[in-house]
């Protein structure tokens, strides 16, 4: 697993475009699998309550806390490893672990077992983002970094959409039978079969990562290895961040506010559609899945091309600038959509909001990797996932549920809770990023100066 291809070759030519974009495609596919495995449980709330007696609070723990906390905490280890060892090997282990854990969800018999299996899903998926974003930063020049990161993140959007689209179709299909006979396991319930069908193929598909070459690491400021001390790794990262505190302060604040909205809403959209529009699981999966895939893909491509064009024209705050504007566009669309009594208006409003907000990982990761030296990029992404990622992922669903339950009544209470969170947190995120533009310009220019002319292009 030792990274044998880790020389500091800042001026080495980038790999041929075909090879670089193929790598993005494979990494995006891995992201697709991870998000599919992560979100399919959102469609299984009803059978879990029926067969296991799981409460809304317990389901929230399964859907959010069990996964997110593990994902964020173990991501710190994965991030440090990504800066030292073969990123391909770490991704392979991660994909195998989360696939096995997803399949294990299908053989659980009680809440405790399912909670442990969801912890396993989070542990495996923690390996992907630090390694993948680090690899992409070594495959592309800076002027193409946001588009490449956006197309990688497109896998996440497709995964979320397919969790509802394919997951809903699988659920509709298997629900026609109460029990299924699975080799080596025996009879399982229909919802358990969904986990097994989705999880098992990942154990084989994980091998696709070895069709990629480990990229040459470029953009290191300090060629000396940090060793295997987590304290040394994150001590060096925090020291680096402290010297650029204005950039990281506004970065973390802005994307935390945005994460609160997008993660919270995605988690509650199926429930709102079922309660407000009386749709079946299959109908929700089809309508919501297509909306997320189409509008999410459009948003990622629009963001990547727009931000890279701004960067090429000299805007070194392009990621902050573009995403701040996107958050403001998302406000009226999201509020109108979540409070509408029309399914069509709901989907259009949510679609526009998703188009604007789903590029969050592309802007957040690209902005960090533009300023962070190579030897700290994996750890930097992991720390971001622990901070803004964890805070937004936990607070968003809880805030929406709390506001909906206590401030509103009836079947549309969740929709009203989403509207309030959108109306408050999107403008706060936009304001934070706008205030950080000046610091980002200065920090990016400083990073470019330290890397030299070749790496600055």
Which sequence spans correspond to the domains of the chain?
A: 17-214+239-456
The SS3 assignment for 189 reads strand
Cα–Cα dist 120/231, whole Å: 25
**CB atoms closer than 10 angstroms to residue 85:** 19
Q: Give me the helices (H) in 10-65, please.
A: 17-39, 45-52, 56-60
Q: Alpha carbon of 400 to those of 180, 345, 355: distances in Å? A: 36, 20, 21
Distance CA 8, CA 225 (A): 11
Separation CA 104–CA 59 (nearest Å): 17
The CATH code belonging to domain 17-214+239-456 is 1.20.1250.20
Looking at residue 226, its pLDDT comes to: 53
pLDDT in tens, 390-438: 788 778 888 998 898 889 988 999 999 999 999 999 999 999 999 999 9
pLDDT, residue 9, reads 46
User: Half-sphere exposure of residue 370, counting CA atoms within 13 Å on the CB side?
Assistant: 33
Smallest CA-to-CA distance from 389 within 250, 255, 248 is with: 255
Structural tokens at position 369: 């990797």
Q: Are strands 186-189 and 179-182 parallel, antiparallel or unpaired?
A: antiparallel
Contacts of 299 (CB under 8 A, 6+ apart): 157, 326, 354, 355, 356, 357, 358, 359
Contact 102, 199 (CB under 8 A): yes
Whether the CB-CB separation of 37 and 202 falls below 8 Å is answered with yes
The whole-angstrom separation of Cα 291 and Cα 3 is: 41
Nearest Cα to 320, choosing from 194, 153, 443?
Answer: 443
Find tokens 């542990």 and name the residue.
Answer: 123
Please state the φ and ψ torsions of residue 238, each to the nearest 5 degrees.
-65, -35
Instruction: Write out the chain's pLDDT in tens, 457 residues.
Output: 544 334 344 567 889 999 999 999 999 999 988 988 887 887 777 788 788 888 777 887 887 778 888 888 888 889 889 888 899 999 999 999 999 999 999 888 888 999 999 999 999 999 999 999 999 999 999 889 999 999 998 888 777 777 777 666 666 666 666 666 666 666 677 778 888 888 889 999 999 999 999 998 886 666 555 555 677 888 889 999 999 999 999 999 999 999 999 988 988 898 899 999 999 877 887 898 889 889 999 999 999 999 999 999 999 999 999 999 999 999 999 999 999 999 999 999 999 999 999 999 999 999 999 999 888 999 999 999 888 877 887 788 889 988 988 899 889 999 999 999 999 999 999 999 999 999 999 999 998 887 664 455 5
State residue 48's pLDDT score: 82
* pLDDT tens for each residue of 267-277: 889 889 999 99
Q: Is residue 5 classed as helix, strand or coil in its secondary structure?
A: coil
Report the pLDDT value the prediction gives residue 173, as an integer from 0 to 100: 65
Q: Which of 46, 30, 35, 37 is nearest to 194 (CA)?
A: 37
CA distance 246 to 244: 6
Cα–Cα distance, 46 to 41 (Å, whole number):
10
Sequence-distant (≥ 6) Cβ neighbours of residue 305 within 8 angstroms: 147
- Find the DSSP H helices in 40-110: 45-52, 56-60, 66-82, 87-105
Using CA atoms of 259, 265, 268, 269 in order, give the dihedral in degrees to the nearest 10. Answer: -140
pLDDT, residue 11, reads 61
- Nearest Cα to 45, choosing from 161, 201, 194? 194
């Amino acid at each position: 697993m030792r990274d044998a291809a880790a020389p500091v070759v800042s001026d080495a030519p980038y790999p041929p475009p075909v090879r670089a974009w193929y790598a993005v495609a494979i990494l995006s596919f891995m992201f697709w699998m991870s998000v599919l495995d992560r979100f399919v449980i959102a469609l299984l709330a009803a059978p879990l309550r029926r067969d296991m007696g799981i409460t809304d609070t317990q389901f929230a723990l399964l859907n959010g806390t069990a996964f997110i906390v593990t994902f964020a905490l173990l991501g710190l280890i994965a991030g440090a490893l990504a800066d030292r060892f073969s990123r391909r090997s770490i991704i392979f282990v991660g994909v195998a672990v989360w696939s096995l854990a997803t399949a294990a969800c299908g053989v659980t018999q009680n809440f405790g077992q399912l909670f442990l299996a969801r912890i396993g899903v989070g542990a495996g998926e923690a390996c992907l983002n630090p390694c993948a974003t680090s690899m992409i930063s070594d495959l592309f020049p800076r002027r193409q970094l946001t588009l490449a990161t956006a197309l990688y993140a497109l896998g996440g959007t497709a995964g979320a959409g397919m969790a509802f689209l394919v997951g809903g179709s699988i659920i509709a299909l298997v629900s026609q039978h109460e029990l299924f006979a699975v080799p080596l396991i025996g009879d399982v319930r229909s919802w358990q079969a969904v986990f097994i069908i989705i999880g098992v193929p990942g154990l084989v598909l994980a091998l696709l990562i070895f069709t990629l070459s480990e990229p040459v690491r470029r953009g290191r400021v300090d060629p000396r290895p940090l060793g295997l001390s987590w304290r040394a790794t994150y001590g060096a990262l925090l020291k680096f961040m402290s010297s650029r505190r204005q950039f990281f302060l506004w970065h973390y604040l802005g994307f935390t506010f945005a994460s609160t909205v997008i993660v919270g809403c995605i988690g509650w959209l199926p429930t709102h559609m079922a309660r407000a529009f009386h749709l079946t699981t299959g109908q929700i999966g089809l309508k919501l899945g297509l909306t997320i895939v189409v509008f999410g893909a459009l948003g990622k491509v629009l963001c990547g091309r727009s931000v890279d064009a701004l960067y090429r024209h000299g805007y070194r705050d392009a990621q902050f600038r573009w995403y701040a504007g996107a958050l403001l566009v998302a406000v009226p669309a999201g509020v109108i959509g979540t409070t509408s009594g029309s399914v069509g208006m709901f989907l259009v409003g949510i679609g526009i909001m998703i188009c604007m907000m789903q590029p969050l990982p592309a802007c957040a990761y690209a902005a960090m990797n533009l300023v962070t030296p190579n030897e700290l990029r994996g750890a930097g992404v992991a720390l971001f996932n622990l901070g803004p990622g964890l805070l937004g992922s936990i607070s968003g669903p809880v805030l929406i549920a709390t506001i909906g339950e206590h401030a509103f009544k009836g079947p549309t209470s969740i929709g009203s809770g989403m509207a309030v969170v959108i109306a408050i947190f999107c403008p706060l995120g936009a304001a934070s990023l706008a205030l950080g533009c000046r610091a980002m310009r200065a920090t990016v220019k400083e990073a470019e100066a330290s890397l030299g002319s070749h790496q600055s292009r």
